[in-house]
Structure 1
Amino acid sequence: MRRTATGFIGLAVAGTLTLTGCKNGNEEIPAAPSGPASAAPSAPAEQPGSAAPSSPSGSTSDAPAAGAPGMAKSGQTFKIGESATVPFSYGSNKGGTIALTVTAIEQGKPSDLDAFKLGDQVKGKVPYYIRYTVKNVGTTDLSYSSVGHIKGLLGDGTEAGKLAVIGKFDKCPNESLPKGFTNGQTQTGCAVALAPSAETKVAAAEYWGDPYNSLSKGKGLVWK
């Protein structure tokens, strides 16, 4: 199916809503940037260790082991604005240590979703913008890595829906880490979560990147 949003955003949506292995079956709706948008098959949720562009510096992974001293513990809960030090890996030869901080969970307007022209797929849903910062506190260059695996949680702890935006979305900008992302460098990011109705709120955010994920039988880090 090929659709183009008015003005500047196109969509690639294959068949029905894309299911991404969420525990309660909430949908992830992919969106593509402006210009020709080809239909894409449904894909599973991004997994830690996926292929990534190699770093110009050729750095190798120095990601600490799970449970290493100073690292956030599986299942740990933080307040909004608190930082968690986590081992980070991206691709087969890139990793290190980052300080991850969820800085805000902001309610948007249902009309924010109009540009995507998803119709009934988002009818009644309310977007929430999970804003976070990433700081390189390790020794490797994490240029061009992507820090994802952030999702919303509803008040009862179940997962919110997720809108996967590919391309520019001014309401919730999110880009790969820039060139020269070495120790001390910081960048902001944003993830879109969808509440099923105006009566239900996205109350928390969860980071479920490796090693805090179900594949390794771990539990995510939660901010609320």
Structure 2
Amino acid sequence: MSTHSMRRSTLAAAGLAVAGTLVLTGCKDGNEEIPAAPAAPSAAASAPSPAQPTDPAAPSSPAGGYDGSAGASATPAPGGAAGGAVAKSGQAFKIGEAATVPFSYGSNKGGQLALAVTSIAQGDPADLEPLKLGDKVKGMIPYYISYTVKNTGTTDLSFSSVGHIKGLLGDGSEAQGVSIIGKFDKCKDNSLPKGFTNGQTQTNCVIALAPSAQTKVSGAEYWGEPYNNLSSPPQKALTWK
């Protein structure tokens, strides 16, 4: 992951049924992407709105149960079920191995998750055509990063969105990502369903782009709170390879 302080920018393009937003990634220096507030279940069937550039906002304070010290593990969040020690700043995991992380989303405070990147699969450039990104992704190769989310705490995380997963190239730098608005069957990234309580599990997917066929996406990182530069002291992302 790059350690240079860079601002995050987005370019948007919309199609009739699905839209893609190309995310140009840099270091997480306060321009963190924050998901929109979850919609009511009935809104899921409505037509998607075109993707639009948004002004990044600062994330909420870290969830309880993380002591904020660099490289230090902590006990689970208050009220959380035992899920192992909370992952340390910058901790590396193998593909399929779960990390215990504190988690909050909107009013769902003090949660805890077991988060695991389970696979990184190469796609075909033609897969990106429905996203109407055109020359912005010319020559790039999509990779699909699948990850599981398990609620290991006692907080009901219904309708929360667990994002902040990015691809890593072979040299450790961040791959560009694509945010999806609408339905994209090859890589579904859904909000957590109603009743996502302790023990519930969901598999999500994000797209990472390799700049050419000669470069591969070989790892992934999680940079949600508190694993980013906004923590005090600054923290490092969790990684999977």
TM-score range, shorter chain: 0.7 to 0.9
Q: TM-score under structure 2 normalisation? A: 0.74
1:205 counterpart residue number? 220
Distance (Å, rounded) in 2 between the aligned partners of 1:150 and 1:47: 17
Deviations 1:153-211 (A, max 9, x none): 10001110010112211010011111111100001111111111110001110000101
Q: Decide which moves more: 126-135 or 61-70.
A: 61-70
CA contact (8 A) 2:108 2:156 kept: no
In 1, distance between residues paired with 2:159 and 2:53? 25
Cα displacement string for residues 127-161 of structure 1 (whole angstroms, at most 9, x for unaligned residues): 11110000000011011111000000100011100
Q: Secondary structure at the match of 1:182?
A: coil
1:95–1:142 Cα contact (<8 Å) kept: no
- In structure 2, the CA distance between the partners of 1:42 and 1:204, relative to structure 1 (3 Å rule), is same
Unmatched segments (≥5 aa) in structure 2: 1-11, 34-44, 68-72, 76-84
Post-superposition offset of 1:65: 1.9
Structure 2 counterpart of 1:151, which letter?
K
Structure 1 residue 106 displacement after superposition: 0.6
Check 1:47–1:173 CA distance in 2 against 1; reply closer, same or farther (3 A cut): farther
Whether 2:197 is the aligned partner of 1:193: answer: no
1:139-178 matches, within 5 Å, as 139-178=154-193
Equivalent pair of 1:84/1:100 in contact (CA under 8 Å): yes
- SS of 1:94's partner is strand
Q: 1:87-166 to 2 correspondence within 5 Å?
A: 87-166=102-181
- What does 1:64-83 correspond to in 2, within 5 Å? 64-66=65-67, 67-69=73-75, 70-83=85-98
Question: Deviation string for 1:113-138 (max 9, x for gaps)?
Answer: 01112111000001111100000000
The answer for the alignment partner of 2:18 in structure 1 is 9
2:97–2:117 contact (8 Å) kept in structure 1: yes
Q: Does 1:85 align with 2:86?
A: no
Shift in alpha-carbon separation, 1:71–1:47, aligned structure 2, 3 A: same
Give me the identity figure in percent. 63
Please give the per-residue CA displacement for 1:7-54, whole angstroms capped at 9, x wherever unaligned: x3246x7xxx6645x139xxx9xxxx995745623433x65329xxxx
Amino acid paired to 1:68: A
* 1:220 matches 2:226: no
Q: Please say if residues 10 and 34 of structure 1, whose CA atoms lie closer than 8 Å, have aligned partners that are also in contact.
A: no
Structure 1: give runs of 5+ residues left out of the alignment: 51-60
Q: CA separation of 1:43/1:126 partners in 2, compared to 1, >3 Å: closer, same or farther?
A: farther
